[in-house]
Amino acid sequence: MSKPINILLEIGELAESKNIRDSKKILDILMNSIYSLSIKHHTDPIDFAEQKYAKIIAQMIFTKLFNIRENLNGINFSNDEFHFKNDIIDTNLVANNIRNLFETVCLFNNFFIHSTNKDELILKLNIWEYSSLKYRLKLENQATNDEQKSLLQKDKHRLIALKTNIENSKIYNELNDDNKRKIRIILKNKDYKFSIINGEVKIYDWQKLADNFPDTQKSIPLLYTILSFYSHPTWKSVFDYGNNFKEEKIWIQNAQDLLRYSYILSSIFIIDFIKYFPNSENSFNKLKPLDIYLIEFYNYLVRGQEYLLDKDRFKE
């Protein structure tokens, strides 16, 4: 039996396994890959300063996966009266971390993969910063010392500069009046989830943003809705938490269903990171064959052959 067949069989066993140890193994592979790519290429030259955010996001995704893995260790708590140790996994926490991972991967993809040129990327980044600072200004009435007031004053000056940069940018001024109005609405709503396609501003919610991956195999439909069920105290999240304490260990299946999305999202990010920083592909190819095939497998699962680094990897 050829080595790739052995590897594919092992990936199949890992993907279908209900054992949490195997889930941790998959997360370890993904974390190792992201860590290797981000650390080895952190000091590589960049074309312009704003590309630093792409590398910072890579490090953030590593820590998000680390926290997801930590969630799989279950509950262990004690005080002077009792000691509680159980292998229960709180799927609400897992879903919360995966939803954050989802948003971060979507943001990276929209900014660094789906921007048609540097001008669009800079516009998105400026509006992204503008949104954050506008939200922070909502805390103005809570400022209680000179340091906080000084920071908010700097934010106000920065907001003026950002808005000027946005409205004076070449890409903004090439838009027609209707699409300029859409940009103003985005600024007013303190949003940043948009793209410009053939001169038309497209405004997205998080799930629509994920459609840009694209999900050609329809493997993650309504994913954001699914994750939000657990991220808020909905009836379903409370009901499922209560089921954690039943002997059937329903949480195992719930956790595995959720974790599968973290594997897919991380693999999409890794391939997109390599696409954006092509020099990192050499480091990726030096990973263990199992790691390479597993990442390509989950990327292929959603986006098909077109998005494989090696188009022949899964050919019969």
Q: Are residues 138 and 274 in the same domain?
A: no
Q: Are residues 229 and 109 in the same domain?
A: yes
Looking at residue 217, what is its pLDDT?
63
Looking at residue 225, what is its pLDDT?
86
State how many domains the chain has.
Answer: 2
pTM of the full structure:
0.92
End-to-end distance of the chain based on CA atoms, in angstroms?
A: 14
Q: How far apart are CA 111 and CA 104, in angstroms?
A: 11
Q: Are residues 79 and 223 in the same domain?
A: yes
Q: Are residues 107 and 125 in the same domain?
A: no
Among 157, 191, 211, the domain-final residue is: 211
Looking at residue 86, what is its pLDDT?
66
Extended strands (E) in the chain = 75-78, 83-86, 194-197, 200-203
Q: Are residues 36 and 121 in the same domain?
A: no
Q: Which pLDDT tens digits describe the chain residue by residue (316 residues)?
A: 456 889 989 999 999 998 999 999 999 999 999 999 988 888 889 999 999 999 999 999 999 999 999 999 887 777 877 776 666 788 899 999 999 999 999 999 999 999 999 999 999 999 999 999 999 888 888 877 888 888 889 999 999 999 999 999 999 999 999 999 999 999 999 999 999 999 999 999 998 888 888 776 677 778 888 888 888 888 988 888 887 777 667 777 888 889 999 999 999 999 999 999 999 999 999 999 999 999 999 999 888 888 899 888 887 6
Domain that holds residue 102: 1-114+217-316
pLDDT tens track for 61-101: 999 999 999 999 887 777 877 776 666 788 899 999 999 99
Among 194, 211, 228, the domain-final residue is: 211
Contact 169, 119 (CB under 8 A): yes
Among 211, 231, 247, the domain-final residue is: 211
Q: Are residues 108 and 228 in the same domain?
A: yes
Q: Are residues 244 and 301 in the same domain?
A: yes
Contact 210, 102 (CB under 8 A): yes
Extract the tokens encoding 67: 């926290």
